[in-house]
Structure 1
Amino acid sequence: MSITETAHAFFDACETGQGWEVCAQYCHADASFAAQSEAIAEITTLEGYCDWMKGLLTILEDGSYELKSFGTDTERACVVAYAVFTGSHSGDGGPVPPTGKTTSSDYVYHMAFRDGKVAHMTKIWNAPWALRELGWG
């Protein structure tokens, strides 16, 4: 499987809330994660992020993504995906009771590969914007 195919399979599994138990097959066991975004800044492992997404989709039950761009840089062994996540706070959980409000939030994943698997991912996301739209901020 090429890094493009692996990245796409990982991206879809992660963004549909399948959690680490499914995402792990595309990643190194010690894959790291980073984001300069308050809501997820404390998460340092890709396992932690995948499970955070799984939990988020229990709160934003209709959560989905629209992939806008997907590119592979074979020289640097990385893949970049740009998408828009849309979801409404209808499920229990989150910082407040269900608000019924919706966010449509742009984000980018930069996935760095080693030996054909994701070794590190950085998420670029304006969390405060999304959280305000959901009525959480």
Structure 2
Amino acid sequence: MSNLETAKAFFEACETGRGWEACRPHCKPDASFSAQAGALADVRTLEQYTEWMKGILTVLTDGKYELHAFAEDREREQVCAFATFIGTHKAGGPVPPTGKTTRTDYVYAMRFQDGKIGHMTKVWNDGYALKELGWA
């Protein structure tokens, strides 16, 4: 499987909330994660992030994504995905359900090592999303 195919399989599993169990085959066991977003400040591994996504989809129960671009930089062994996440707060969460919806853009930059994702950076304005949802 090419890096691009692996990244697409990972992206689909992660963004549909299937958690680490479904994402693990596409990642190094110790894959790291980073984001300059307060909501993800304590998330340091890709395993933690995929479980966070699984959890957020129990709160934003209609959560889905619109994929805008997927690109591979073979020289640097990087694959980037640009998408918009759409979800309405209908259950659970940090406050009672607000019924508010977010449409929040984000980018995944996935760095590959030996055909698997070794690190992923998420570029996301969490403050904007949290405000739209009525959480901030």
| TM-score, normalised with respect to structure 1 | 0.98
In structure 2, how many angstroms separate the alpha carbons of the residues matched to 1:26 and 1:66?
A: 21
What is aligned with 1:103? Answer: 102
Residue matched to 1:34: 34
Q: Which runs of 5+ in 2 are unaligned?
A: none
Q: Which residue of 1 aligns with 2:55?
A: 55
Q: CA deviation at 1:44?
A: 0.3
The list of structure 1 runs, each at least 4 consecutive aligned residues, that deviate by more than 2 angstroms after superposition, is: none
| Cα distance in structure 2, aligned partners of 1:41 and 1:123 | 12
Whole-angstrom distance in 2 between the partners of 1:91 and 1:32: 29
Residue of structure 1 equivalent to 2:112: 113
| Counterpart residue number, 1:87 | 87
How many correspondences in the alignment?
136
RMSD of the alignment, in Å?
Answer: 0.4
C-alpha deviation, 1:91, in angstroms = 1.4
Q: Deviations over 1:51-93 (max 9, x none)?
A: 000000000000000000110000000100000000000012x
Which ranges in structure 1 are unaligned for 5 or more consecutive residues?
Answer: none
